[in-house]
Structures are given as C-alpha cells and as structure tokens.
Chains A and B, each alone.
Chain A
Amino acid sequence: EAQVTQNPRYLITVTGKKLTVTCSQNMNHEYMSWYRQDPGLGLRQIYYSMNVEVTDKGDVPEGYKVSRKEKRNFPLILESPSPNQTSLYFCASSLPGLVYEQYFGPGTRLTVT
C-alpha cells in the first residue's frame, strides 16, 4: 500500500531534549516536506526537499533541522525543543514538477513541556 509513515505518532518531551521524528514513503517520490499545524495559524511549511541531499527552508524553519540521505526518508530533528514547538506535525511527499499532489502522513502530535 502506497503510504507515508511517521513515527512516533505521539510524543511528550521536555525542553531541550533532542528528538527526531521519522518520515518514510514507499512511493519513490522525490519531493518530501514537513509541516506544522497550529490552531488559528493553519498548515505551515518547515522544510522541503526536492531530492536526495537537496533541502530548502519553508516558512518556519527556525529550531528545526532536516536531512535527506536517501530518497524514502526525511527525518525532522529538533535539537533543543521548546514549548513553542508544541504542535501537530505532518510529513508529505509527491512527485516533482509543477504537479505537487501531496500525500500526507498521519501526523505526529508533539508536546514540549
């Protein structure tokens, strides 16, 4: 089954404790992206990757890192999480080109205390 998976689905952590949210897709998509979704602010892009070893900042990249060492995986790294990073995070993937029909993962709900 074609899908985007994220792990963990739920995470509660403390300020400053480094964490990684994994994202994997099995559709051989070149484009992958991370979003955060907050009430009243909608879905905002954090980072995106057009292909392996190619990453770019979205609208809200501060406090996040990503890497794209292989096509199927695009982990999101929070080196020193803070409470303002408490949010619902989505990973997405799509084929490149102008047609960015994105397939989204199920989401990771992160709480930073």
Chain B
Amino acid sequence: SQKIEQNSEALNIQEGKTATLTCNYTNYSPAYLQWYRQDPGRGPVFLLLIRENEKEKRKERLKVTFDTTLKQSLFHITASQPADSATYLCALDEGSQGNLIFGKGTKLSVKP
C-alpha cells in the first residue's frame, strides 16, 4: 500500500529565510497531493493542493512542487515568520477516492 514519508520531524529556521519541507511517497503517483497546517491541539487546516499534471502551485508566500519522477512534493514558505511555526502535513488519496493517508508531519519552528 502507499506510504508517505515526511523526512524531517522538526525543522528550525531563522525568520526571513525560506523553509523547505519534503514529502515522499512510495508507490504509484497520486492524482493530487495536499498540504495542511496544524497548530497544537487544533484540527489541520488546508493550505494547498497540487495535481499530478501540475509542477508547481503558489499561494502568497507558499509554494508547492510535485515531481512524479522523484515521487516527491516540496513545500516552501518564503520570508518565513514566527507565526508560520506549526506542524505541516502532506496527504494523498490512497486510490479509493476517499481513503486519504497523511504523513506524520514536520514541525517547523521559525525563530525571530
């Protein structure tokens, strides 16, 4: 079955720098891949979705890329701020159009 790996459990960066988070999957390329933000004790919040035929998607300071050859998605936050500190999750559809699997997340800490 499909597996998702988010390589870093934690990422610490300085304010103003670009944060880059990685999401790798193991088997077939999904039709799309999603990224969520989760703050402690709260439910995840949807950020971006990228389809398999899209190489890049942007939303304000966020950018997501999707490389089906590498089986990888990268999530970038440019000009990072302390308020960006949170756990970021990637997710994809197992193939059953509804059976979603999530990575374990990367906890991002942005220091002032």
Cβ-neighbour of A100 out of B34, B44, B103, B104 (below 8 A): B34
Asked whether, in the complex, the Cβ of B103 is within 8 Å of the Cβ of A48, the reply is no
> Which of these binds chain A: B10-18, B65-73, B76-84, B89-97?
B89-97
A45 at interface, CB cutoff 8 A: yes
A98 at interface, CB cutoff 8 A: yes
Asked whether, in the complex, the Cβ of B104 is within 8 Å of the Cβ of A42, the reply is yes
Chain A min CB distance to B65 (Å): 19
A34 to B51, CA, bound (A): 24
Cβ-neighbour of B49 out of A33, A99, A105 (below 8 A): A99
A36 to B35, CA, bound (A): 18
Asked whether, in the complex, the Cβ of B98 is within 8 Å of the Cβ of A33, the reply is yes
A12 at interface, CB cutoff 8 A: no
Asked whether, in the complex, the Cβ of A104 is within 8 Å of the Cβ of B32, the reply is no
Report the nearest A residue to B102, measured CB to CB.
A43
Cβ-neighbour of B43 out of A44, A101, A107 (below 8 A): A107
Report the nearest B residue to A94, measured CB to CB.
B46
Chain B min CB distance to A73 (Å): 18
Q: A33-B100, A42-B104, A107-B42 are in contact. Are A98 and B31 (CB under 8 A)?
A: yes
A99 to B49, CA, bound (A): 8
Q: What are 5 of the A-B contact pairs (CB < 8 Å)? A: A41-B104, A48-B99, A101-B49, A106-B42, A107-B43
Interface, chain A (partner B; CB < 8 A):
4, 31, 33, 35, 40-45, 48, 50, 56, 58-59, 90, 92, 98-107
